[in-house]
């Protein structure tokens, strides 16, 4: 969905809701009636004649408008029965034409079309055509308003559904910061405690901070960039224990991160994939490089990992639609305009690279 449409749908409605209520109908027809009465009173130079004519015409307008919008279109247009629709709408127009002619002739004036250059006191073809065209205009105007409101209502429902689905996926993503990672970390802590290592308290603290972030901080729509970076650091420090000296990590951060905000857990899936699809599949030395730069209201985030040498046909996981990276792409599409971010994935110098440029202020 386009970002401008989402912003419009999220704004307070003039009517307070996208549902059409009874007073909306009363307001619409009242304004239309007053406008039409004064309009024709200036044309005929006779307010009373215009008032009496509209008192007869408007019930016919309303009947045809509601018949078309709430019965004929759902029954025939939406089911692609166009011939039947044409027949029924034409018959309805003919019946209403006869009603209007006779009511006008006997209750208002024998001159049933005073705006014409001559007196028309019989049911002529010209009168029939002009009257039916006028009814089609009213029907079309009313139906267009109803279809617009229906479209806004469905768009709002779709937007709400996307938000609920995104929240569900985010909760699922939290649980996916890999369960194996937590099991391995707990096993490492267990080994450290058996060895009575001085590292054990520090590792437990880092795991605690990471879990607190995943469970609580991610409930916000936007999180401080510094908090996300700290989460990444804790994650990396815990992974270092598993890979020891075989893992080489180079992390560089530059720029002013203060007051910069991003969606929580937007970057973690990109880091995790380096370990899941890079380090865990690699034999020998594994290199991961992370660069974060904030400048002019944008964050340049780049993460690179050496290509696993156990499988030459290995394909980077985003091309297979992994849950983490798919979620990142979807969250960017839903939460930002096209000019607010740039996500690129490419292979260069025997390294897999993910580059994300994101508006953070």
Report residue 294's pLDDT band, with 50, 70 and 90 as the boundaries.
Answer: very high
Per-residue pLDDT for 17 more than 90? no
Strands 223-224 vs 341-348: parallel, antiparallel or unpaired: unpaired
Per-residue pLDDT for 343 more than 90? yes
- The whole-number pLDDT of residue 4 equals 44
Report residue 226's pLDDT band, with 50, 70 and 90 as the boundaries.
Answer: very high
Radius of gyration of the chain (CA): 34
Rounded-to-5 percentages of helix, strand, coil across the chain: 65, 15, 25
- The whole-number pLDDT of residue 279 equals 55
Q: Which of 145-154, 238-247, 294-303, 338-347 has the lowest mean pLDDT?
A: 238-247
- The whole-number pLDDT of residue 3 equals 45
Using a pLDDT cut of 90, give the percent of the chain over it: 25
> Which two tokens mark 159?
């937007």
- The whole-number pLDDT of residue 87 equals 95
The domains of the chain are located at 3-166, 177-359
Sequence-separated (6 or more) residues with CB below 8 Å from residue 138:
61, 64, 65
Cα distances from 256 to residues 299, 336, 360, in angstroms, run: 10, 22, 11
Cα distances from 302 to residues 287, 288, 337, 346, in angstroms, run: 14, 11, 20, 11
Top mean pLDDT of 158-167, 169-178, 204-213, 216-225 is at 204-213
- The whole-number pLDDT of residue 251 equals 93
Top mean pLDDT of 77-81, 271-275, 323-327 is at 77-81
Q: Which of 218-232, 265-279, 294-308 has the lowest mean pLDDT?
A: 265-279
**Among the CATH numbers 3.10.20.740, 1.10.10.10, 3.30.565.10, 1.10.300.10, which is that of 177-359?**
3.30.565.10
- The whole-number pLDDT of residue 81 equals 92
Strand runs labelled E in the chain: 223-224, 247-254, 261-262, 286-295, 298-306, 341-348, 351-359
């Amino acid at each position: 969905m386009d970002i401008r449409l989402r912003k419009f749908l999220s704004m307070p409605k003039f009517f307070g809701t996208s549902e059409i209520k009874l007073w909306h109908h009363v307001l619409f027809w009242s304004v239309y009636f007053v406008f039409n009465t004064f309009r024709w009173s200036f044309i005929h130079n006779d307010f009373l004649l215009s008032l009496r004519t509209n008192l007869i015409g408007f019930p016919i307008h309303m009947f045809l408008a509601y018949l078309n919008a709430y019965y004929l279109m759902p029954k025939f247009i939406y089911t692609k029965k166009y011939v039947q629709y044409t027949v029924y709408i034409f018959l309805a127009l003919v019946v209403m034409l006869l009603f209007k002619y006779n009511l006008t002739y006997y209750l208002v004036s024998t001159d049933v079309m005073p705006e014409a250059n001559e007196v028309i006191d019989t049911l002529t073809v010209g009168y029939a055509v002009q009257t039916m065209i006028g009814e089609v205009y009213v029907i079309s105007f009313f139906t267009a308003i109803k279809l617009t409101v229906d479209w806004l209502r469905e768009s709002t429902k779709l937007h709400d559904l996307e938000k609920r689905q995104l929240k569900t996926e985010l909760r699922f993503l939290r649980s996916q910061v890999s369960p194996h990672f937590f099991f391995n970390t707990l096993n490492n802590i267990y080994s450290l405690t058996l060895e009575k290592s001085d590292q054990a308290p520090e590792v437990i603290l880092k795991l605690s901070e990471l879990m607190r972030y995943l469970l609580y901080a991610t409930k916000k729509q936007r999180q401080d960039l510094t908090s996300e970076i700290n989460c990444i650091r804790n994650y990396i420090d815990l992974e270092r224990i598993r890979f020891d000296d075989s893992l080489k990590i180079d992390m560089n951060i530059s720029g002013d991160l203060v007051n910069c905000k991003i969606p929580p857990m937007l970057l973690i899936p990109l880091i995790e994939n380096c370990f899941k699809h890079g380090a865990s599949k690699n034999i020998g030395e594994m290199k991961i490089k992370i660069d974060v730069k904030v400048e002019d209201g944008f964050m340049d985030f780049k993460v690179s990992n050496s290509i696993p040498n156990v499988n030459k046909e290995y394909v980077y996981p985003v091309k297979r639609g992994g849950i983490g990276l798919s979620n990142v792409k979807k969250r960017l599409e839903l939460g930002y305009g096209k000019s607010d971010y740039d996500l690129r994935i490419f292979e260069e110098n025997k390294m897999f690279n993910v580059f994300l440029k994101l508006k953070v202020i």
